[in-house]
């Protein structure tokens, strides 16, 4: 008996038929994996990686629209860090993001808790609560522009009708109101995402947890903070992180409502980048504005990814 037949438990003299050609050559797993990955990698390289690398390299150049460019090192960044418009835009971005996300978090939790209670027409109320999320950002911005309009807008009309103000309020063109107005529009548009995420998380919490706490003597408020809220920790983290990134990058709302004005007072970093890069044709400076926030986003994205992959690992 041959050694091979003995090992395979085959009778002496038995010769196995040859394997079909296509399975005789065994491809390594990693090669198969890369083959499957290749189409997505090609799309990513073309539409994500290349523009990003190009954008970063532009930030280190004096590129103007339609002109030759040269490498200028950190010159654009030095200029930005001493530019009051940049510092104001960075401050606006920070304040707007923190404020809007904080309000969305509190209101979103409140709405989710309210919409999770049994009540008549709950389905309709839920649909209405989610409606703003379905409106494209640009359309939402335009709608709010009309609402805030000092002459034709309903807010000014209401303020005067109710004698809260004796003259039109310049919601968008008054520097002290501009950021508030942008914030309100952003909250309106982004709140349904919070509500939706929290409502889904709330409905996945077993009701007997709440009932056990009730038997243990916890009143509704205590039950919410001691038993329900800790179960929402993960979804709160992920929602806040995602919303922070989206709100920070929310170009359209500011662009449509104020365009960064009046007097460059309501710019946030993405609109300032547009202002420098497109309106003033200084592509290098505009790119530098965006590249300057990459470290902040990297930290947020690493935190988010680690948390989201925690369960998977």
Partner 1 sequence: MADVRLNQIRKTFGGHQVIKGIDLDIKSGEFIVFVGPSGCGKSTLLRLIAGLEEISDGTLDIGGMRANEVPPDARGIAMVFQSYALYPHMTVRENMAFGLKLAKIPKPERDAKVRKAAAMLQLTDYLDRLPKQLSGGQRQRVAIGRAITRDPDVFLFDEPLSNLDAALRVATRIEIANLKDAMPGTTMIYVTHDQTEAMTLADRIVVLNAGRIEQVGSPMELYHRPANVFVAQFIGSPAMNVIPVESSGDRIRFPGGGENDLPAHARIVGESLQFGIRPEHLREVPQAEAAFSGTVTNVERLGEQAIVHVEIGNGTMLVAKIDNDTPARKGSVIHLAYDPARAHFFDARDQAICAA
- Tell the smallest beta-carbon distance from residue 114 to partner 1 (Å): 21
Using the minimum distance from each CB to partner 1, give the nearer residue, 159 or 227: 227
- Tell the smallest beta-carbon distance from residue 235 to partner 1 (Å): 14
Using the minimum distance from each CB to partner 1, give the nearer residue, 231 or 281: 231
* 241, 195 Cβ separation under 8 angstroms: no
Using the minimum distance from each CB to partner 1, give the nearer residue, 205 or 294: 205
**What are the angstrom distances between the C-alpha of 8 and each of 11, 17, 20, 24, 141?**
9, 14, 19, 18, 73
Interacting residues with partner 1 (CB under 8 A): 206, 208-209, 211-218, 222, 226-227, 230-231, 233
Using the minimum distance from each CB to partner 1, give the nearer residue, 73 or 217: 217
**What are the angstrom distances between the C-alpha of 92 and each of 68, 89, 200, 274, 280?**
33, 5, 32, 16, 21
- Tell the smallest beta-carbon distance from residue 211 to partner 1 (Å): 5
Using the minimum distance from each CB to partner 1, give the nearer residue, 54 or 208: 208
Separation between Cα atoms, residue 62 and residue 55, nearest integer Å: 12
Using the minimum distance from each CB to partner 1, give the nearer residue, 19 or 215: 215
Q: For residue 297, give the nearest of 241, 251, 237 by alpha carbon.
A: 241
* 132, 216 Cβ separation under 8 angstroms: no
- Tell the smallest beta-carbon distance from residue 118 to partner 1 (Å): 11
Using the minimum distance from each CB to partner 1, give the nearer residue, 62 or 231: 231
- Tell the smallest beta-carbon distance from residue 120 to partner 1 (Å): 13
- Tell the smallest beta-carbon distance from residue 207 to partner 1 (Å): 9
Using the minimum distance from each CB to partner 1, give the nearer residue, 221 or 263: 221
- Tell the smallest beta-carbon distance from residue 206 to partner 1 (Å): 6
Q: What are phi and psi of 219, to 5 degrees?
A: -75, 165
- Tell the smallest beta-carbon distance from residue 212 to partner 1 (Å): 4
């Amino acid at each position: 008996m041959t050694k091979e037949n003995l090992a395979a438990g085959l009778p002496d003299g038995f010769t196995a038929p040859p394997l079909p050609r296509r399975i005789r050559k065994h491809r390594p797993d990693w090669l198969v994996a890369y083959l499957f990955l290749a189409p997505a990698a090609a799309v990513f390289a073309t539409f994500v990686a290349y523009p990003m690398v190009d954008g970063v390299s532009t930030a280190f150049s004096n590129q103007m629209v339609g002109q030759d460019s040269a490498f200028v090192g950190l010159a654009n960044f030095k200029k930005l860090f001493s530019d009051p418009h940049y510092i104001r835009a960075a401050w606006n971005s920070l304040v707007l993001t923190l404020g809007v996300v904080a309000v969305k978090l509190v209101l979103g939790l409140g709405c989710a808790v309210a919409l999770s209670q049994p009540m008549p027409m709950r389905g309709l109320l839920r649909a209405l609560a989610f409606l703003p999320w379905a409106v494209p950002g640009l359309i939402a911005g335009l709608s709010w522009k009309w609402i805030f309009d000092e002459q034709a807008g309903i807010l000014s009309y209401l303020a005067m009708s109710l004698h809260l103000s004796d003259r039109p309020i310049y919601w968008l063109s008054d520097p002290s109101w501009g950021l508030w107005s942008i914030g309100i529009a952003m909250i309106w548009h982004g709140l349904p995402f919070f509500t939706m995420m929290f409502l889904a998380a709330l409905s996945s919490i077993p009701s007997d947890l709440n009932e056990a706490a009730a038997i243990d003597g916890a009143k509704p408020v205590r039950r919410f903070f001691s038993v329900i809220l800790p179960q929402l920790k993960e979804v709160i983290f992920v929602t806040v992180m995602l919303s922070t990134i989206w709100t920070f990058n929310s170009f359209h709302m500011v662009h449509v409502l104020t365009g960064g004005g009046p007097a460059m007072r309501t710019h946030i970093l993405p609109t300032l980048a547009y202002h420098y890069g497109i309106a003033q044709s200084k592509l290098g400076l505009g790119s530098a504005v965006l590249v300057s926030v990459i470290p902040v986003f990297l930290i947020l994205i690493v935190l988010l990814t680690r948390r989201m992959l925690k369960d998977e690992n």
